[in-house]
Amino acid sequence: MKILVVFHSMTGNVLQLARAVVDGAETSGAEVRLRKVAELVPPEVIAAKATLQAGQEKMKDIPLASLDDLRWADGVCFGSPTRYGNMSAQLKNFIDQTGELWMKGELVGKVAACFTSTSTQHGGQESTLLSMMVPLFHLGFVIQGLPYAEAGQMGMEQIHGGSPYGVSSVSGPRGDRAPTEVDLELARALGRRVAWNAGKLAVAGTEPKPAAKRKAG
Ligand SMILES: Cc1cc2nc3c(=O)[nH]c(=O)nc-3n(C[C@H](O)[C@H](O)[C@H](O)COP(=O)(O)O)c2cc1C
């Protein structure tokens, strides 16, 4: 299986989740590419804030995602910080460049899953994950959620992310609360599941042709 993990992150929380998704996919035997999307915030804004500079530094060696990465992959995990309950413009900007893939149906039948991070517990993880899926349906992806079989999401002992819609973490008001071990284990589980299911679909082969129309009468 070939798995692409493509993400946007500014202060490193989504990056940490992305690395755990990579680990999970790799333990399933997948070949994995980790890719970031282009930053749209002006360099002078980033230069003026130490936390943003530190975030860029953590990601400087990660290549930018391309359309060929999407073509190459059997499964794709998309990660974005929450922006007012939605994915970031940076990740959406990447998805909005997939018109030629959509035209040719090149992503149809591939597996996709989503992950996010918010600063607050009820700051829109689920709305972000669900709205991230909308363009993925248009592109023809088969969406992988995070079933309750991944029992870590059921715990009540500590604040953590994770829901049937995907992986998440809560980074706190200053964005410096790292994903917990529960979040990271759920991220690894998502990577494993996307790799397994991409593998199963690859074995199942190409899609059946639409059934021939029945004759009237
Ligand atoms: C413009 C903007 C909008 C945000 N909107 C939300 C939000 O709706 N809910 C929330 O809890 N956090 C929100 N955040 C906080 C980030 O989603 C949060 O800090 C996240 O953990 C950052 O991920 P990163 O470290 O990968 O960049 C917002 C941050 C910014 C800059």
Give 19-30 pLDDT, tens digit per residue: 999 999 999 999
Residue 106 Cα to ligand 1 midpoint, Å, equals 32
Predicted local confidence at residue 204, as pLDDT: 80
| Ligand 1 atom, smallest distance to 171 CA | 21
The terminus-to-terminus CA distance of the chain in angstroms comes to: 46
Calculate mean pLDDT across residues 37-58: 97
Q: Domain residues of the chain, as ranges? A: 2-204
Residue 196: C-alpha distances to residues 49, 191, 200 (Å): 41, 9, 6
Query: Which tokens in the block code for residue 18?
Result: 């992305």
Task: Categorize the per-residue pLDDT at 203 as very low, low, confident or very high, splitting at 50, 70 and 90.
Answer: confident
Backbone angles phi, psi at 129, to 5 degrees: -65, -45
* Closest residue to atom 22 of ligand 1, CA basis: 81
* Closest residue to atom 30 of ligand 1, CA basis: 83
Please, which residues bridge with residue 143 across strands? Answer: 112
Residue 203 Cα to ligand 1 midpoint, Å, equals 39
pTM: 0.95
* Residue 83, ligand 1, Cβ within 6 A: yes
* Closest residue to atom 1 of ligand 1, CA basis: 83
Give 78-100 pLDDT, tens digit per residue: 999 999 999 999 999 999 999 99
| Ligand 1 atom, smallest distance to 169 CA | 21
b/e string for 16-31 if b means 16 or more Cβ within 10 A?
bbbbbbbebbbebebe
Looking at the structure, give the CATH architecture of the domain made up of residues 2-204. Answer: 3-Layer(aba) Sandwich (3.40)
* Closest residue to atom 2 of ligand 1, CA basis: 83
Predicted local confidence at residue 205, as pLDDT: 74
